[in-house]
Structure 1
Amino acid sequence: MERESVNWSGGYMIYVGIDIAKKKFDYCIINSEMNLIKRGILINNNYGFSEFLKIIKNYRNIKIGMESTSIYHVNLYNYLIENSRSAIILNSLETKLLKSSRIRKNKTDKIDAEAIAKYIIIRKNNIITMDKNTENTYTNLKEYVYTYIRINRKITMAKNQLIVDMDLLYPGLTAVANVNSKYFMEIISNIDQIIENNYKIKYISDSKHSEIRNILINSNTNNAVKYDIDINIETLELLNKQLMKTKNIIEDEYNSMDSKIKTIPGIGTITGSIILSSIGDINRFDSIIKLRAYSGMDPVVKQSGDYNITSKISKRGNPLIRYALYLSTVSAIRFNPVIKRYYTRKKNDGMKGNKLLIACSNKLLNIIYSVLKNNKDFEDPLNNIN
């Protein structure tokens, strides 16, 4: 039963769960004994935010939690920060188990808000918090990184459609000339000249040029597909310009930051930007175990009788960190002396394939954690041996 709104600030700890949608958000206020104090629904705009602030203003000992729901939580979160109220951002995977454990399988935002509040109590010693003074350190970088990722995805979609069109019009061409090769755009921009033998494709052999020319000569006729190819070429040209512009902005942001992650061999500007903007303040993580879990690099352990079997990583955390870690690990195996030795040792022990790459990624994540946590440059331990 809902209690009247009274000042519970005294010695009590108050917990607020917020479930946010596009147009509104549900909130639920409970005490440490999980007794309901108040719940309600407000509009997801500045008016709703100010009304929410009025509701919680009497509570001093308060913890607020909300799920990271696409972009819908961002405005409320920033509003709370600006008004000296900190909040905990939870990955939806963190609260999913509690929500799904209800005996009655009804699902409402009101119930979800209560589940979030209860989750903060149950997991209060293991939640990765967002400190109000440090969370916005990489806000701009994070937004530019998201833009960069979105443009990259659009480029992939445009390329995939281009491959479909090219296979319809010029069967066999994409098998000979990879769409990601540096001469592919040169081919489709000079098709008529190549057919008429008035243009030589750069960077390829004469035999391959002849093979491509024969494919173009024996092409199908479909004006609609040709039009779609032209549209996709224009789209790719625009997207590539936008990607380069965004990359330059990210480089400027990254270069202006004083972060020791730059000293780690194998981590470049883009991968470093993704990792930094995803992690935020390293002090949110009081152990490497939490950072692994946040990154989805923690192992999945299956128990059967007296045996514990570690099969694979959970992949439940931030996918962007895993993406950046993968790219960085591939580079670090070549250029980072610590990772290079680790890779060689594990490979000689019989580890191979994806399991070997994951092991190296976790080793690199350990290095990232140590460097950021201690705020010290990367050093190869062997260099300190006399």
Structure 2
Amino acid sequence: MVESKTEAKSSEVGVTNPYRRTEHCGKIHAYRCDKGVGVIGIDISKDHLITSRGRVRKYKNNKRGYEEILKMKPCTIVLEPTGVYAIRPSQYFKEKGIKVLQVSPNILSREKEFRGKKTDFYDAEKLENMVDKAKEYDYNPLRELVTLYLFLKNIEVKYRNRLKRALFLVSDNDKISKERLEKLAKGDFTQEELYNLEYTPIVLEEIRVLAKTLLETQEKLEEVRRMIEEQVPQDHVLLTIQGVGKLAAGIIIGIVGDIKRFPKPESFVAYCGLDPVVESSGKSVVLRGISKRGDAVLRRAFYLAALTAIKVNPIIKRFYEDHKGRLRGKKLITACARKLAIITWAVLYYNKPFDASE
């Protein structure tokens, strides 16, 4: 057994001692296992993986590089989630039976010592030291569908706005109905009252292209929507909340992931950007609306769900009636959305169906 004071030593080939003192908590962690080197820290970029151990320490961010790292037989890998570049290697190592831990960027930003010296090799070694502050990697496949849906939704909005602009140039009617859109996509302008201007022929061709593309985008949106809804089980606890449909539930599940990372409802509400901004001076306390610093997609999802919930959900409906004398319009709906977010947190956190009587 290694003595409690033994610490790892870094060298050009990485950490030489599999028992390592975690610098940030002062504890000794027995990282030795039956798989060789034990824990490896990895700094990830688009093209390369920099490891805290090994004689090479710099590998390609591709399958060949992953296989080279696996030859060291690690039992745990610690890395910083760097967006899409970290997803593939994390999933690859996980499916190979390696425990993958991720250190939140928020935690890293608070570690002044970590950011004091900046090299990729040094970062990898420091990541290895942060096992106690890391959480196990868990990728949510539904998130891919949700991000695709949102991507297509943004494209649809852009095409729709561009089409309305083009229609305004040649017509007094810029409203877009399904029937009109289909005719415009075919280049059928027989029922349109158009201005006969110099640029009209060019704009009409633009309208045809935009209408056709918008129709195709809407069809793809509907297809992805069905795929998201199919991923939400019929007996999912979120569907017990009146006002939360399958699409809203899919978006919430896809974006939030593990609800346990929000130990309190306030933290979840803040993540949604629905937390109130409070300004106080002496005995004076003033509410300045919501922070809007959280996830805009979740915030919109809860807002739209609240519009339905005030009609069908007894708790939200009662909340709406109790506060409509003090709040009005969007502020009242936003308050209902915040209440709905708290209910959603409770249902997910405790994994219990919604009960309006509680």
- State TM-score, norm by structure 2: 0.74
Q: Give 2:89's match in structure 1, choosing from 73, 76, 81.
A: 76
Does 1:376 pair with 2:352?
yes
Q: Tell me how far apart the structure 1 counterparts of residues 143 and 256 of structure 2 sit (CA, whole Å).
A: 10
* 1:232 partner letter: L
Does 1:241 pair with 2:265?
no
Superposed counterparts of 1:83-94, under 5 Å: 83-89=96-102, 92=105, 94=106
Q: Give 2:322's match in structure 1, choosing from 306, 325, 345.
A: 345
**What is the Cα-based RMSD across aligned positions, in Å?**
4.0
* 1:276 partner letter: I
Tell me what 1:151 maps to: 152
Tell me what 1:9 maps to: 19
Does 1:193 pair with 2:170?
no
* 2:87 partner letter: V
Check whether the contact 1:65–1:120 (CA below 8 A) recurs between aligned residues: no
The secondary structure found in structure 2 opposite 1:157 is helix
Check whether the contact 2:103–2:130 (CA below 8 A) recurs between aligned residues: no
Q: CA deviation at 1:235?
A: 1.0
Change (3 A) 1:230 1:49: same
Superposed counterparts of 1:193-212, under 5 Å: 193-195=190-192
Q: Tell me how far apart the structure 1 counterparts of residues 55 and 265 of structure 2 sit (CA, whole Å).
A: 37
Give the gaps of 5 or more residues in structure 1: 30-36, 196-212
Tell me what 1:201 maps to: none
Does 1:286 pair with 2:286?
no
Does 1:46 pair with 2:63?
yes
Check whether the contact 2:114–2:123 (CA below 8 A) recurs between aligned residues: no
Q: Tell me how far apart the structure 2 counterparts of residues 119 and 307 of structure 1 sit (CA, whole Å).
A: 43
Change (3 A) 1:103 1:6: closer
* Seq. identity, %: 28
Check whether the contact 1:343–1:360 (CA below 8 A) recurs between aligned residues: yes
Check whether the contact 1:298–1:314 (CA below 8 A) recurs between aligned residues: yes
The secondary structure found in structure 2 opposite 1:267 is coil
Q: Tell me how far apart the structure 2 counterparts of residues 315 and 28 of structure 1 sit (CA, whole Å).
A: 39
Give the gaps of 5 or more residues in structure 2: 1-8, 21-27, 32-38
Tell me what 2:46 maps to: 22
* 1:173 partner letter: N
Tell me what 1:199 maps to: none
Tell me what 1:209 maps to: none
Change (3 A) 1:91 1:345: farther
Q: CA deviation at 1:66?
A: 1.8
Change (3 A) 1:87 1:2: same
Tell me what 1:64 maps to: 78
1:271-293 CA-partner distances (Å, limit 9, x unpaired): 11000122223334433234334
Q: CA deviation at 1:260?
A: 0.7
1:129-160 CA-partner distances (Å, limit 9, x unpaired): 44x6xx35x51x32222222222122112212
What is the number of equivalent residue pairs in this alignment? 333
Check whether the contact 2:183–2:189 (CA below 8 A) recurs between aligned residues: no
* 1:85 partner letter: I
1:243-279 CA-partner distances (Å, limit 9, x unpaired): 222222222222x354110111111111110001222
